[in-house]
Structure 1
Amino acid sequence: MRRLVIEGAHVATVDAVDREFVGGHVVVDGSRIIAVGDGPAPPWVFADGVEVESVDGSGHLLTPGLVNTHHHLYQWLTRGIAQDSILFDWLVALYPTWARIDEDLVEAGAEAALAVLAKSGCTLAADHHYVFPRGSGDIVGGIVRAAARVGIRLHGTRGSMDLGRSAGGLPPDFAVETTAVALDASALAVERYHDASADSMVQIALAPCSPFSVTSELLTEAATLGRSLGVRLHTHGSETVEEDAFCQERFGKTPTQYLEDLGWLGDDVWMAHSVHLDDHAIARFGATATGSAHCPSSNARLAAGIAPIPQLLRAGAPVGLGVDGSASNESGQLGTEIRQAVLMNRLRAGADGFSVRDGLRIATVGGARVLGRDADLGSIEVGKLADLALWDLRGVEFAGLVDPVASLGLASMPPLAGLFVGGRRVVDDGRLTTINEVGVARAAARASADLLGRV
């Protein structure tokens, strides 16, 4: 057993009462936190003969590890394309390329995307993968292997599309599966990779892609299957006005009404984006504890709109932060999304409508709640897993900044001095300790060139 002791940092616990300690301490035994408080660590921490690793946190901000509730890791290979398009046009431009991915390409892209997430403070990433070309291999397995090498937790999904263009959907027919194949593959992914234990490094959810790429049959049966297997459910919902128009024209309902009728609201469900919600939809999200992944940079990049996040939070709905696919958020960083969330939500809610601590909360314990893991993750509390981010505020960029938490919510993203996943150091002084970053970058560049060359 190894004991990790961090002392002298400004500790933002993000617990139920938002306790913060100036010059506080956090002590970790193995993978779990055993002490949190003000001032130096108590003497007993050093007195029982356990090996201790001491970290000087002076001039640093210590937060829970950040939780990314929505991503498409494979899109790291197609960044910078269709730069001036709205969502539907962007998808149409990229579907033909994505339909040529395979296990090896996705694994290379996922490893690069996960590396960037880790270097921006992320300790748990949810990935929504929904493109499975025939003969492409075990794509979910490739993503799982990439996450294991980088060393952060993965909430992967087995997504699906079965509504091709000839049947009124958006994706081309060659990019979709049959309903039966998608359901069988979903059950197999859960059997192979889902670990329901409290300290799990990999969990799997079922994730039909969206109302405009999936049949009602697949949505209904996936919900039934997921609940029978005890896993969560994920899809895109209310991202754009075009999606709303599609649902109104095809089903005579808003996306929320349509999804609720198919069993897709509940405390085991989270939606990506939730931008275009009316008052009724917000109330239903709150009443059913349906989660939302807020992706401010991607929503801006695709001109989708500003999600009503303060209203969702007031309604009691879980909200987490998301990067979204790297092809619609080329940065790929999660830490920068805190600032984006603060600034964007103030455009709707006013200067006092969304604080920097609101931003940190949805990026940590809010995201853990969305993914059903807030009992063990998302805040710095005794008994919880030691997923921690240590931010260096000693640079000139933060000189004179009176509130350390404002470094994440208003200033530039601080350098990451340390990232710990279950007490294991994954980032040290801004560099990953688990992989060769240069090698990963080269592999991703080769994979991108390979994929684009197939089109």
Structure 2
Amino acid sequence: MASVLFKNARIMTMNEEGKVIEGDVLIVDDRIAHVGAEIDEAADEIIDAEGKIMLPGFVQTHIHLCQTLFRGRADDLELLDWLKERIWPLEAAHDDDSVYYSAMLGIGELIRSGTTTILDMETVRHTASAFRAMEESGIRALSGKVMMDHGRDLPPGLLESTERSLQESVDLLEAWHGRANGRLQYAFCPRFVVSCTEELLIGVRDLSKRYQVKVHTHASENRGEIALVEEERGMRNVVYLDHIGLATPDLILAHCVWLSEEEKEIIRDRGVKVTHCPGSNLKLASGIAEIPDLLRKRIGVGIGSDGAPCNNTLDMFSEMRMTALIQKTKHGPTAMNARTVLRMATMGGAEVLGLEEEIGSIESGKKADLMLLDLDEFHAYPSYETDPYSRIVYSAGCGDVDTVMIDGRFVMRNKQLLTIDKNTVLKEADRSIKRLLKRIV
């Protein structure tokens, strides 16, 4: 077993007590073996982290890696037009290579900005290529093919039969769930109620229960979407999902901007989890989710960047800052403090994914998913007796991430990516989007 000893770091454990320790962390193989003020044990490698902050890796609870290639190609539109006019045609044009390089492009950006775990939703086809990118890059991920067997204005390349959608999802689950030392997991990903028949959603409910895996879908992101669901199913999103038995602790809902009080109660009572995407919700003019109210109700909430074409960045530092700031104008300056937000980005995200026993904090026995921040910069000073939570949420940025470890393996060190060939990915990303654009002209 390999071992690494980090010495002299400022360790923000993000444990239940929120302890901040000046000291050492010993990694043995893929796990944290010991955290303490001074560890005097032998290790294969000793790293002096003097002056650096150690954090658990960020956990992003809503990402679309397949959309990273579409960055900058769907600006200034609201959700349904954004999907119909830009995103769906581009997703339908994907091939195996384009999905692979779209995923690699996104993962490189995520690792560079300290994200070590994601909940990802792919497109209808070529999902194995995304899993291959996740396996090779070293990121921890729950992911699944998007499921779409119903809807208006869908390109032929995205509309699938119910039977095929369910079978391909199971095939991918059986091929990828638990791969890479358990680092990769499968989640069933029906896109949203608007694009799924009731037969499909009930099938997902039953398969999720059979295989004991998560279900991830969008809900109540946009008022036009809600109107369509009410028109077709006769009730609001979350009420409908509860009606068909999908509202369980294994359900993770992206966005939840426009929830009724009844829907909030269903989410709370059924143990459903929510993922907040402030950058995407602002850019698509969807609205501002009532996150303080959800937290008061003890609903589990994580943070995600969503996809690159509805945010344009996958940077958790940006999402944390927005998560805090956008609530203050309506609910007051203390509505979302830095400590609350940083917890959402780490341990809170782990809880949403059901991985709180494995990741989300720096504690003995947990997976070695962590980062080192170097805040020795103008924008992060003065450092003297500064609240470390404030310094990270309000002042730090993705360029401050120095080193990232996932599953006990360095994936970035001294700001150099170790598992992704940057030049190749950038070159192939441009070649891929050029190829896709020709297909939809």
Q: Which amino acid aligns with 1:101?
A: H
Q: Does the aligned pair in 1 maintain the 2:205–2:245 contact within 8 Å? A: yes
- The secondary structure found in structure 2 opposite 1:352 is coil
User: What does 1:4-19 align with in structure 2 at a 5 Å threshold?
Assistant: 4-19=4-19
Amino acid at match of 2:52: H
List aligned pairs for 1:394-405, cutoff 5 A: 394-401=376-383, 402-405=386-389
Aligned to 2:213: 231
Q: Using the TM superposition, give the Cα deviation of residue 196 of structure 1 relative to its aligned residue in structure 2, in angstroms.
A: 8.0
The aligned runs of 1:17-416 (5 Å cut-off) are 17-21=17-21, 23-38=22-37, 41-43=38-40, 45-46=41-42, 50-51=43-44, 53-94=45-86, 95-132=88-125, 139-165=126-152, 171-195=154-178, 200-401=182-383, 402-413=386-397, 414-416=399-401
Give runs of ≥4 in structure 1 deviating > 4 Å: none
Paired residues of 1:164 and 1:172 also in contact (CA < 8 A) = no
SS of residue in 1 equivalent to 2:199: helix
Judge conservation of contact 1:239–1:275 (CA < 8 Å) in 2: yes
C-alpha RMSD of the superposition? 1.6
Q: Which amino acid aligns with 2:120?
A: D
Which region of structure 1 is more displaced relative to structure 2, 337-346 or 388-397?
337-346
CA–CA separation in structure 1 for the residues paired with 2:179 and 2:333: 41
Distance 1:454 1:329 in 2: 24
Letter in 1 for 2:76: D
Deviation at 1:117, TM superposition (A): 0.5
Quick check: 2:151–2:194 contact (8 Å CA) kept in 1?
no
What is the distance in 2 between the residues matched to 1:291 and 1:16? 19
- Taking the aligned partners of 1:264 and 1:347, their CA distance within structure 2 comes to 35
Q: 1: CA distance between counterparts of 2:35 and 2:411?
A: 21
Cα deviations across residues 225-258 of structure 1 (Å, max 9, x unaligned)?
A: 1211121111101111111211222222111101
Q: CA deviation at 1:363?
A: 0.9
1:3–1:348 Cα change, 3 Å = farther
- Rounded to whole Å, the distance in 2 between the matches of 1:77 and 1:365 is 30
- TM-score normalised by structure 1 residue count: 0.92
Secondary structure at the aligned position of 2:94 is classed as coil
**Percent identical residues:** 33
Secondary structure of 2:410 counterpart: strand
User: What is the distance in 1 between the residues matched to 2:416 and 2:325?
Assistant: 29
Tell me which residue corresponds to 1:453: 438
CA distance in 2, matches of 1:378, 1:116: 20
- Could you tell me which runs of 5 or more consecutive residues in structure 2 were left unpaired when the two chains were aligned: none
Gap regions ≥5 residues in structure 1: 133-138
Name the SS of the counterpart of 1:111 in structure 2: helix
1:136 counterpart residue number: none
Given residue 183 of structure 2, which amino acid in structure 1 is its aligned partner? M
